[in-house]
Amino acid sequence: MASVPENMVDIHQYLDQHQHKELLRFITCGSVDDGKSTLIGRLLYESAFIYEDQLASLKTDSKKMGTQGDDIDFALLVDGLAAEREQGITIDVAYRFFSTDKRKFIVADTPGHEQYTRNMATGASTADVAVVLVDARHGIMTQTKRHSMIVRLLGVNRVILAINKMDLMDYSKTVYDGIVGDYAAFANGQGIDFVAIPLAALKGENILRRGDSLSWYDGPTLMGYLETVPLPVNRRDHAFSMPVQWVNRPDLNFRGFTGQITTGTIAVGDSIRVLPAGTQTRVESIVTFDGHLDRAICGQSITITVADDVDMSRGDIMVGEGHAVVVGQRCKATLLWMSESALVPGKLYWFKTRAKLVLGRIQAPDHLINVNTGATMMGSVMQVNDIGDCVCEWDQPIPMEPYTSNAPLGSFIVIDRDTNNTVGMGLVRSISGQGEWASRHVKERHRHWSQGRVSVTHRVKRNRHKPIMVVLTGIVPRDRYAAVGTAIEEALFQDDIQAYRYGFQFMRQADATESSIGALRQDMFRQLFDIGYAFMDAGMVFITAIRGLTVSECHELKTIVDPFDIIIVDLDGTNGMLQTVCNADVVSADEALPHIQRQLRH
Amino acid sequence: MSQSSLIHTSPSSLTHLAQLEADSIHIFREVVAETDNPVMLYSIGKDSSVLLHIARKAFYPAPLPFPLMHIDTTWKFKEMIAFRDHIAADYGLNMIVYTNPDGLERQIGPFTHGSAVHTDVMKTQALKQALDKYQFDAAFGGARRDEEKSRAKERIFSFRSAQHRWDPKNQRPELWSIYNTKKNPGESIRVFPLSNWTELDIWQYIYLEKIPIVPLYLAKPRPVVRKNGMLIMVDDDRMPLSDTDVVETLSVRFRTLGCYPLTGAIVSEATTLPAIIHEMLLTKTSERQGRLIDSDGGASMEIKKQEGYF
């Protein structure tokens, strides 16, 4: 409990002590009715962070709406929304604050109901420690495992398994040991490091003070543990990185780059690189309202001026020596889907990273993660609250680092362009360059290709038109690809063009030996365009469709069918970036036919 | 300018106040980078003073890239208005002062119309009118999560419909420090950079950073009358005094500041910041209790917020 100073000499001591306290952020999570809100109510009450008027209205509310008879219902203190108090459940994260002599705490009380998992993730994304509550009567539930999984995915490595309501199980050590054993079987397989503490939150036992009925337990109380658990390793020891947040340019004489340091430290004179461009420069000064600094550390919000007149703007990232940031346009990420509308693979979404907002697409998940077992399972659709590994791709190269080594630069949110809602969160696992496999494949093909005596040039002369590949793309119903493709094929045929529409859509079913959907799509892609390459080598127009063609696939496509021309027909009007980024020839469905006809005779 | 006393207490890690300050600066810059027409709502209180101080830090050496706006109900303490004008002139701020012209014409006031009507017309409606008039798409406010239980649930970036309503059951997830600022047509964002600060943090920061505050926060002999169990200061002659009202001169101060007829004083001898903090640690009454608006029902603040109250 935080002791209150007696006099004015003490107040200065107290302030000095408070000023130097460490900050620990933790969340409480677990199944519905495990007593999370009650636990926090207790923590606040016993740390004297409930005021008299709050206590008075709590007593009134407890009689009116509480579930504890004439006793105080501490849950009502935390469940602040009217709907929550009515239904007796927690819908959204509540943030509470208290401090002891040793530490200041920010606690996020997160909802247990599965439909509010996204709110739970909101609380977990900023936490250092997670308190996972379990009802001693029920043991480990699906939600216990789900929350533990989310917590681990978000890099919260310290879990306290708080086994609550021990009073209802006669404080039985056997019950406690059984639950600890069950959880360990799950947690050890997931790499979750945990300590277990038996509690009776309603009675305040093992919260601050030890419970007499739990004499067989000799570990720390919950508060005792929270006060002493080591803070997570500071990102200070990592190489310097800072996204440019805003360029401060009040007049022609000052140009400062503002941001909050995400990792490492920086000092005046240090050499830095600006990503993605890779430009090198030096730190000239570190400017703050409180004067110039010689050095700044992770977490500080600063303004940097640099020695050279380099091009740098919002979204660029400054990095120091020894950094591990990779510039890439494509990554593998673990996604938690948060929208009632399922993920649409290939659809254009906004991605917001710590640095900037970009457009991009997500491929169908390679696999989903079963939160009960932690095992991977096949599945191509991501519904609300699903967790899965997907390939994501952006319309431009961005600097990123895997989440495990640099969380701020390895995380992003996904925003739906129609609703503007945050629909997903992603943690970068690996970043890759583009189209390496396509170049390898072309090399192989050249090595094994046997050229005949009739060349493409002869065929062009005979046919009186060039060979071209026409690719229909967008996210539209399947029959729309067929309708447009068939119409183009027919019109060209009538016009004496050697055209063929290849309408075989679902090769992946035919040859489903590969394990991940990403790999299947790549395989299907390679097969399709190899066939297309052969048709064009035969002098023909090859018409096909690829649902949700991505920027890097477009690069790969160009590599595979080089030297032939490609025309991309944009069926839903979202594929402008294939033109701007890949320099592809993109036309709308309406303009497609005349454009193809012009190009054929070109 | 001297080096900050906060940040350099340790060369290798930030104190919790330095962390809170840096996170708040990040939020300010994010809004300026991503919205078209932000404004800072300035209430003249201690939280606004901290908010303004951090905003100046965020954009230094540039001047503030947005205006401040004060919704003047015409019933604020005289010392608040004097302080506002002094700060605006001293820092060279673009300070918009807005009063509901309709309410002014109808002479709405807390004594004649009651606190509910007064707050609705002169504060809530006035704020909506002003936001519409200037087409602000983001508004900074100094609210903290420790103040009140529905605020404890609110996101740092909190969206309002075109009618300025808050939908507490349908808040966007807010992950890490990545803020989604995408708005639907007509929507605006209320942004609360001080969300994770506590009352103690605010006072300690004011003390350490030597931030100017309205003198009403410090105890001084002031004329007060007892109304509905609260000590109301006689700030001007609009205060109706009956024969039974006794104007006493007591050493009082205010924990929060608003319209003087609606803001209760507390008896206090605390004339310095450490003394205030000391009193606060001993007090067992929460900050918003001095305000009439919160106490008419458990979910009162939530409802007012849904209706557009800040």
A425-460 residue pLDDT tens: 999 988 875 456 677 778 778 778 888 888 888 898
User: In the block, which residue shows the tokens 């008896």?
Assistant: B267
Domain end position, chosen among A319, A354, A381 = A319
According to the model, what pLDDT value does residue A467 have? 93
pLDDT: is A90 or B255 the higher one?
B255
Domain boundary among A263, A294, A319: A319
Question: What is the average per-residue pLDDT within A234-245?
Answer: 86
Q: What residues in A contact B23, CB-CB < 8 Å? A: 260, 301
Pair (A154, A72) in one structural domain: yes
* Ordered DSSP codes for A37-65: HHHHHHHHHHTT-S-HHHHHHHHHHHHHH
Flag the least confident range among A50-64, A352-366, A398-412, B252-266: A50-64
| N-to-C CA span, chain A | 83
Claim to verify: residue B166 and residue B236 sit in the same structural domain: no
Contacts with B229 (C-beta within 8 Å, 6 or more apart), sequence order: none
State the DSSP H helix or E strand holding residue B133, giving kind and residue range, or none if neither: helix B126-134
Residue of B nearest to A84 (CA): B169
What's the whole-number mean pLDDT along residues A116-136?
A: 88
- Any idea what the CATH number is for the domain that residue B63 is in? 3.40.50.620
Contacting residues of A for B255, CB less than 8 Å apart: none
Report the gap between the CA of B93 and the closest CA in chain A (Å).
15
| Torsion sign across C-alpha atoms B106, B107, B113, B114 | positive
pLDDT, position A79? 59
Cβ A21–B16 below 8 Å, yes or no?
yes
State the pLDDT at residue A436. 64
pLDDT of residue A57 exceeding 80: no
Cα A600–chain centre separation: 45
- A206 within domain boundaries: yes
Residue A2 falls within a domain, yes or no? no
Task: Assign B1 a pLDDT band (cuts: 50, 70, 90).
Answer: very low
User: Do both A88 and A14 map to the same domain?
Assistant: yes
- What does the alpha-carbon distance between residue A172 and residue A179 come to, in Å, rounded to a whole number? 11
| A535 residue type, one letter | F
Q: What is the mean pLDDT of residues B120-127?
A: 94
Does A189 score more than 50 pLDDT? yes
DSSP string, A71-118: S--THHHH--SHHHHHHTS--S-EEEEEE-SSEEEEEEE---SGGGHH
Measuring CA to CA, which residue among A421, A485, A285, A355 is closest to residue B171?
Answer: A421
Residues B95 and B23 in one domain: yes
Residues A188 and A57 in one domain: yes
Q: Which of A51-65, A453-467, B72-86 has the highest mean pLDDT?
A: B72-86
Apex B285 CA angle, B45 and A10, nearest 5: 85
Please indicate whether, in this complex, the C-beta atoms of B275 and A420 are within 8 angstroms of each other: no
Judgement on whether residues B160 and B238 belong to the same structural domain of the protein = no
Instruction: Please indicate, yes or no, whether residues A427 and A552 belong to a single structural domain of this protein.
Output: no
Residues B224 and B175 in one domain: no
Q: Indicate whether B128 belongs to any domain.
A: yes
More confident residue, B14 or A488: A488
Q: pLDDT by residue (tens digit) across B223-241?
A: 999 988 899 999 999 988 8
B265 and B233 co-located in one domain: yes
**Is A150 part of a structural domain of the chain?**
yes
Spatial contact of A429 and A437, defined as CB atoms under 8 Å apart: no
Q: Does A512 have pLDDT greater than 60?
A: no
- A530 pLDDT band, cuts 50/70/90, is confident
Q: Cα(B300)–Cα(B310) distance, rounded to whole angstroms? A: 13
Among B14, B60, B172, whose Cβ lies nearest the Cβ of A300? B14
Same domain, B49 and B115: yes
Distance from CA of A223 to the nearest CA of B (A): 19
B3 within a domain of the structure (yes/no): no
In this structure, is residue B1 part of a structural domain? no
- The pLDDT of residue A510 is 41
Give the one of A91, A122, A254 whose C-beta lies nearest to B169's C-beta: A91
Could you tell me if B12 and A298 are in contact, meaning their C-beta atoms sit under 8 angstroms apart?
no
Distances from the Cα of A518 to the Cαs of A346, A366, A481, in angstroms?
12, 6, 22
Residue B6 lies in a domain: no
CA of A550: how far to CAs of A6, A396, A397, A503, B135, in Å?
67, 12, 13, 20, 38
What CA–CA distance (Å, rounded) separates B227 from B209?
36
Measured CA to CA, the distance from residue B216 to residue B45 in angstroms comes to 10
Burial of residue A29 (CB within 10 Å: 0-12, 13-18, 19+) is buried
pLDDT at B175 > cutoff 90: yes
Indicate whether A1 pLDDT > 60: no
Q: Give the pLDDT of residue B96.
A: 98
A46 and A101: one domain?
yes
Query: Do B83 and B229 fall into the same domain?
Result: no
B298-309: per-residue pLDDT in tens?
Answer: 455 666 666 666
* CATH number for the domain that contains residue A271: 2.40.30.10
Of A411, A432, A453, the residue that ends a domain is A432
Q: A510-545 in b/e burial notation, b at 16+ Cβ within 10 A? A: eeeeeebbbebbbbbbeebbebbbebbbebbbbbbb
Same domain membership, residue B88 and residue B181: yes
Quick one: CA dihedral B40, B46, B47, B50, positive or negative? Answer: positive
Mean pLDDT, rounded, of chain A? 85
CA B18 to chain centre: 21
Domain containing A558 equals 436-600
Same domain, B189 and B261: no
B223 upstream amide cis, omega within 30 of 0:
no
Cβ distance B178 to A412 less than 8 Å, yes or no, reads yes
The C-alpha atoms of residue A517 and residue A381 are separated, in whole angstroms, by 11
Q: What is the reported pLDDT for A528?
A: 84
pLDDT band at B280 (very low <50, low <70, confident <90, very high): confident
B60 and B178 assigned to the same domain: yes
**pLDDT average, residue stretch B29-47:** 96
Chain B interface test: which of A17, A290, A414 (most B C-beta within 10 Å) = A290
For tokens 């050496």, the residue is B61
Chain segment A396-416, per-residue pLDDT in tens: 889 999 898 889 999 999 999
Domain hosting B276: range is 212-295
| Least confident span in A177-186, A328-337, A415-424, A576-585 | A576-585
Interface of B with A in 240-279 (CB under 8 A): 274-275, 277-278
The number of domains in chain B is 2
- For chain A, what is the domain count? 4
Q: Examine the domain organization and report whether A130 and A36 are in the same domain.
A: yes
For residue A3, tell me if it sits in a domain. Answer: no
pLDDT of A68-111, one tens digit each?
665 666 666 665 556 655 555 566 778 888 888 788 899 988 87
The answer to whether the CB atoms of A300 and B18 lie below 8 A apart is yes
With beta carbons less than 8 A apart as the criterion, state whether B247 and B265 touch.
no
Q: Are residues B145 and B245 in the same domain?
A: no
Interchain CB distance below 8 Å, A77 and B149: yes
User: Do A193 and A296 belong to one domain?
Assistant: no
For residue B176, the chain A residues in CB contact (below 8 A) are 125-126, 354, 407-408, 411
In this complex, do B29 and A301 lie within 8 Å of one another by their Cβ atoms? Answer: yes
Considering the domain architecture, whether residues B167 and B65 belong to the same structural domain is answered as yes
Q: What CATH number did the domain enclosing A442 receive?
A: 3.40.50.300
Contact A470, A488 (CB under 8 A): yes
What's the CA gap between A135 and A27, in Å, rounded? 17
